[in-house]
Structure 1
């Protein structure tokens, strides 16, 4: 029985592990990736022998310090958490964290702990438009994950589009890595950013730095413009860019040749595990569901804490501060002596104000619905076109769930992670908390086998794994491209695998 289990190895999870360990707790840090850092601190494998491993990162020194502090900690990498539940251990209430581990996820592991911290980050929020399913179109976070994790540029000529300051580091990174960035198109005006910068003036220099890097490479930048259509036969060849009205209704159009499009409209907090445990949620500043926490990051269920993007998208620096706070709270709740840290609370308040102001400055307007055609796929997993979604609404569907029942939108492998926001908005409602019994894909055989031990029980021999039977069929959402961000100005911190 461990004192604290932390799910998510990004800035929030790493900081919490350091804080709790220093306070004397027995901590286990669990993450699905092969390397610590989450999506924000994603970095190339050591085998790449990069001379400057932090060159593609903002604030990479923070990662090296946290990683050094965790060198002797119990860190479970390559452990994908598919469910958490209440359990009993040593005669007391505890939590069971169910994982799949191994090169082929052939081993079941259940970690039990007295306290649980959810630091699972966020994933990209796309919007559908004609041609968004073409090869060569990917999320902005996906483009940056390729660059930072594998040192690969998404294409020779790249267009970056969407809304929010995250577009700047993505474009700057691609340009400096050798790609020709044909343009950065911000759908919003960005005029409401002044309150955010007033909340944290240090971000002015950061934003100016990205703008200077783009200017040096003569990258065009335009506000109130968006990519409203992608074109190509077998893969992307060019895009249509439209000038937008205040509600994002498209106006004058032009085409730009490119072989890659990186597009992003913000982020969706990963709160599946928190919802499984019954943690209270609310609508965040941008309408996305977030976990409700108190000043100590307690998540409304005794023994459960949340830190980072699950409490609201606010950037990696805020996530790290929340991680420190959550780790200290868990230690205090377990009776360890923890001194008050008013400076930490003030810093969190300042960073949270900045994050909220950024979300207010870059809202998603309803005019994007005018980009859709009848044959535009809204749900790519089930190949549900916009015409079928509209038909469901005409038949009386009043929310995303009833649209799903009538059209199958959101019923595919990703379970609505990609299309859920769009379907909810088309139905005229705010996105609702994800209510899934499984947070990640899992084989039926693993479900049937019952609880595993913390010693990484292997459920099948290597031969069995190679010749899977019907009981090894996968249920639940499939994992897809991972997301990433590049700066505190930009957005989310990352943690567990986003899908």
Structure 2
């Protein structure tokens, strides 16, 4: 009897769960590495009601969509654990990934114990790797965005889902994209007040791409549910509206908003101020977590929304040998798309070298991927990151919060020192040199360095921000204990 193929899956969100479940279904031995304390990712985030409570499936679907899909994937996942064919490593991250000479993959792991202390480092070797690390909120600097009480829209939602905590009682949400709607719904259901949703797009872009959303009716139904919530809770939804400044002495207290014209420029005289604000949630799309994939040198491209994403074939295989990718790392598109991609990736990963699934065997998933990718393109085209922000910055507006580098310093480095990409900005100003290593400021620094040009120079600048051999902060001792290189 031949030895089972060992598939490592990084991430246990929709894509990772689906990849693990389908790799198991096709006879693989699976290890799933997850930064959270239980499967579900950001989309199916669970709450630990009391300290010390054992993780488990929530009793109902409150605050979640596609719950039946989760229960089905979780049942397969838990069955794999019970059968000994799946090893689940929660609270664990991969800080380095390397290809061996025999094209197997070695992962360096770091994890936290239940007490929050660092567990001993470990190494995992697998035949195939599925990267399903997802994405996080893209951040755009706005005057006053570094005040306490200002956070990403995703953080507002995560606090509600994960901790049952409202980030504030009087919240303004701003940015662009449909994600602002579920966040507003979560806040309203948790008892908070959403004073306004400021959507920078005028939404006319949807009219140019009606075919794509009509092909995914579930998205329309979900959107209708959110619109009903806005009406029921009397939440103002302001199109073509942006936050120009956030005000407060020691924390956020008010915001200035303004309307924009079709070019994205602020309309003079349209400004107004919203008072008595204790939280601002900003959402300008998402940034993919590609650090582990770029470590293998896989081919990437700039997606419609300005995100760098991994190139994959129809079965989710990247240009790296035995390295597959699924979910948001191949392009921001939502949970249904991630599940379909994960399902295909899991099947492909479980097969022998050079083998591929028959298209007929994954026809349903391939159809879902095609439709949801078209929907995602339409969404990104209708909700472009607004151009107003770079011209709205004040000289002392902080762009890199780790190193406290201001917009004035970055622009000076660009104009006087010819620092025209994120890497040279990092060298001349230290922007991106801090704890987050450019995860927060990399997009903004690239925009400022390239004067807003979203073409080749911008794409290369963004790509440079991902070049991190060590993907997360780890103790120096773990690096010192590394062997020189992975061997056969």
Q: TM-score if structure 2 supplies the norm length?
A: 0.88
CA-to-partner distance for each residue in 1:353-385, whole Å, 9 max, x for gaps? 111111111111322212210110011111111
* Structure 2: segments with no counterpart, 5+ residues: 451-457
Structure 1 CA distance for aligned equivalents of residues 370 and 386 of structure 2: 28
Hey, what does 1:447 align to over in structure 2? Answer: 479
Query: Would you say the 8 A contact 2:14–2:338 is kept in 1?
Result: yes
Structure 2 CA distance for aligned equivalents of residues 233 and 2 of structure 1: 58
C-alpha displacement of 1:287: 2.2
Structure 1 CA distance for aligned equivalents of residues 172 and 369 of structure 2: 35
C-alpha displacement of 1:338: 5.4
Query: Would you say the 8 A contact 1:23–1:337 is kept in 2?
Result: no
Query: Would you say the 8 A contact 1:161–1:227 is kept in 2?
Result: yes
What is the number of residues matched between the two proteins?
449
C-alpha displacement of 1:248: 2.6
C-alpha displacement of 1:296: 0.6
Hey, what does 1:399 align to over in structure 2? Answer: 421
Hey, what does 1:11 align to over in structure 2? Answer: 14
Structure 2 CA distance for aligned equivalents of residues 445 and 237 of structure 1: 44
Structure 1 CA distance for aligned equivalents of residues 252 and 347 of structure 2: 49
C-alpha displacement of 1:193: 2.0
CA-to-partner distance for each residue in 1:272-295, whole Å, 9 max, x for gaps? 000001111111112221100000
Structure 2 CA distance for aligned equivalents of residues 378 and 70 of structure 1: 42
**3-state SS, counterpart of residue 248 of structure 1:** coil
CA-to-partner distance for each residue in 1:50-78, whole Å, 9 max, x for gaps? 98542111112221211111112311111
Hey, what does 1:303 align to over in structure 2? Answer: 322
Structure 2 CA distance for aligned equivalents of residues 78 and 246 of structure 1: 46
In the alignment, structure 1 residue 68 sits paired with structure 2 residue 62: no
Structure 1 CA distance for aligned equivalents of residues 431 and 354 of structure 2: 48
Equivalent in 462, 473, 481 of residue 432 of structure 1: 462
Equivalent in 239, 248, 264 of residue 223 of structure 1: 239
Which has the higher mean CA deviation after the structures are superposed, 337-346 or 118-127? 337-346
**Superposition pairs of residues 300-379 of structure 1, within 5 angstroms:** 300-334=319-353, 340-379=361-400
CA-to-partner distance for each residue in 1:227-269, whole Å, 9 max, x for gaps? 1211111111111111122233223211112100111100011
Query: Would you say the 8 A contact 1:4–1:116 is kept in 2?
Result: yes
Instruction: Say which structure, 1 or 2, has more relative contact order (CA 8 Å, 6+ apart).
Output: 1
Hey, what does 2:292 align to over in structure 1? Answer: 273
Structure 2 CA distance for aligned equivalents of residues 184 and 335 of structure 1: 50
In the alignment, structure 1 residue 38 sits paired with structure 2 residue 41: yes
**3-state SS, counterpart of residue 472 of structure 2:** coil
Query: Would you say the 8 A contact 1:249–1:370 is kept in 2?
Result: no
* Structure 1: segments with no counterpart, 5+ residues: 453-499
Q: TM-score if structure 1 supplies the norm length?
A: 0.86
Which has the higher mean CA deviation after the structures are superposed, 188-197 or 347-356? 188-197
